[in-house]
Amino acid sequence: MNLVRKTNPWFPSLLDEFITRDLGVDLATRSQAVPAVNISETDTAFSLVLAAPGKTRKDFQIELDEHILTISSDSNTEHESSHENFTRKEFSYESFQRSFRLPDTVNTQAIKANYKEGILTVELPKLKEAIPEPKKTIEVK
């Protein structure tokens, strides 16, 4: 099961193995990862659950503009290794952006987000008017 879809903007996937194996170029570090999102609904709220392992809370930016919720992340990493006659540095830059049009029934003033163990959860509570009333029985007299 894939939680993250990877797209390679430079080469078709058949060439990835050839280039990685024969030329020693790691295309995985240059690909764009788009985290998968699960969306669920209950009577009182919507929930967005986004798989984004290896990030921190500070890596995420969540914005709301005219009922468009945008979740984005930018992160940079730098790896350095030194051997006898050379030093090798590798830089990695990962970013993604996902946008969702929210229904008018969402209470935009009460949106909450939590990141724990590689999972970003955004709770989108519904307006009180949008929550269905419980079924009532009316007694006949």
Asked whether residue 85 is assigned to any structural domain, the reply reads: yes
Least Cα distance to 102 among 126, 120, 119 occurs for: 126
Least confident of 27-41, 95-109, 110-124: 27-41
> How many domains, in total, are found in the chain?
1
Which band of pLDDT confidence, cut at 50, 70 and 90, is reported for residue 3?
A: very low
What pLDDT score does 32 carry?
Answer: 54
Distance of CA 124 to the CA centre of its chain: 16
Greatest Cα pair distance in the chain: 96
Q: Checking DSSP bridges between strand 68-82 and strand 60-65, what pairing results, if any?
A: antiparallel
What pLDDT score does 55 carry?
Answer: 87
Asked whether residue 119 is assigned to any structural domain, the reply reads: yes
pLDDT at 2 over 50: no
Rounded to whole angstroms, the Cα distance separating 101 from 119 reads 21
Which pTM value belongs to this model? 0.64
Give the residue numbers spanning the domain of 82: 36-128
Distance of CA 103 to the CA centre of its chain: 20
Which band of pLDDT confidence, cut at 50, 70 and 90, is reported for residue 46?
A: very high
Report the CATH number at residue 80. 2.60.40.790
